[in-house]
């Protein structure tokens, strides 16, 4: 019979070629090799029903049935993807809060910190209640305050004659992470006028001078104030690693002029400086950068030129004397 001829003699299975089992990739669970998902399994005599007289015997499985294996694999991935559920937002919220707190602490410690202005000593540059952001990064790289900068510094001792207000728990928590100024710290904010080695002076009715150069303070001095009409000072030299600071509202500022009887003659140690105030951040309508006035740029440029001139005069005189001494010998 034809069936017997196709299925082999004696009931024996046809010989399989090497690698044939590898080509029959198994599909999803419940399918037999070469069967599509959703089709009934082929029973006895299925080989005779194959078009073209083909058989299910030896040979590579390259027919349409083989494509079902690949398709079944894609279906098998579905349960695995559906089984992994996304974490709930409320479970991730504590992690997000922890990350935010760590970032806030890093920013407060190394980058920026907010401070509130409690007095009128820096009007009109800063008004009472303004919030400023203080740069705390550059001092870590060895940068020191320069003339004209507005700096926040810790009380050197005896500058503030009143205790700080007692903060509540909410203020303490916000100040700890840097979202609010530290209410328990004794900080002041002033403008740097002189740095270490500078000679500063201000006579009654005159201007502040730095190393003999008059300082034009008209761009920031409070209207109606004089540079030092209420408290003249100097001439005095700013000690090493110290700063001479003044308030912009000169007649309402307990600055270096009022503490000249102290150990540093009114100068503030650089180590007490928290950082430079760079931005007026609040209120929004007063937002702006706290830049160095042009008068200090001109002062900084004039000082090296003056020093160069002073150093050049002895050199020119020495060269003239040397030339005068060598000219007779050359003529002889």
Is 182 labeled as catalytic in the residue annotation? Answer: no
Is 91 labeled as catalytic in the residue annotation? Answer: no
- Catalytic residue selected from 7, 121, 175, 253: 121
Give the C-alpha separation, 275 to 112, whole Å. 9
Give the C-alpha separation, 10 to 14, whole Å. 11
- Catalytic residue selected from 7, 108, 190, 256: 190
Catalytic machinery residues: 121, 190
């Amino acid at each position: 019979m034809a069936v017997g001829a196709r299925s082999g003699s004696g009931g024996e299975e046809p010989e399989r070629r090497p690698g044939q089992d590898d080509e029959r990739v198994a599909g999803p669970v419940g399918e037999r090799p070469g069967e599509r998902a959703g089709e009934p399994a082929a029973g006895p005599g299925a080989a005779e029903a194959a078009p073209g007289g083909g058989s299910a015997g030896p040979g590579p499985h390259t027919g349409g049935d083989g494509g079902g294996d690949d398709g079944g694999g894609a279906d098998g991935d579905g349960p695995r993807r559906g089984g992994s559920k996304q974490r709930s937002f409320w479970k991730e919220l504590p992690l997000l809060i922890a990350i935010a707190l760590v970032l806030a602490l890093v920013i407060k410690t190394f980058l920026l910190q907010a401070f509130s202005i409690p007095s009128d000593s820096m009007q009109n540059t800063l008004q009472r209640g303004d919030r400023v952001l203080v740069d705390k990064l550059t001092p870590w790289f060895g940068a020191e305050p320069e003339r004209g900068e507005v700096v926040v510094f810790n009380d050197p001792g005896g500058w503030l004659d009143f205790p700080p207000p007692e903060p509540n728990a909410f203020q303490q928590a916000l100040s700890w992470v840097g979202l609010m100024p530290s209410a328990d710290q004794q900080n002041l904010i002033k403008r740097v006028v002189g740095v270490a080695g500078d000679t500063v002076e201000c006579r009654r009715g005159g201007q502040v001078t730095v190393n003999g150069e008059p300082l034009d303070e008209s761009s920031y001095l409070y209207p109606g104030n004089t540079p030092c009409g209420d408290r003249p000072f100097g001439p005095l030299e700013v000690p090493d690693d110290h700063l001479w600071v003044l308030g912009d509202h000169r007649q309402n500022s307990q600055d270096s002029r009022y503490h000249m009887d102290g150990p540093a003659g009114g100068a503030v140690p650089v180590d007490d400086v928290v950082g430079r105030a760079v931005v007026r951040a609040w209120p929004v309508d007063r937002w702006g950068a706290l830049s160095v006035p042009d008068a200090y740029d001109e002062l900084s440029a004039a000082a090296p030129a003056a020093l160069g001139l002073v150093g050049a005069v002895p050199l020119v005189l020495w060269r003239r004397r040397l030339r005068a001494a060598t000219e007779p010998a050359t003529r002889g």
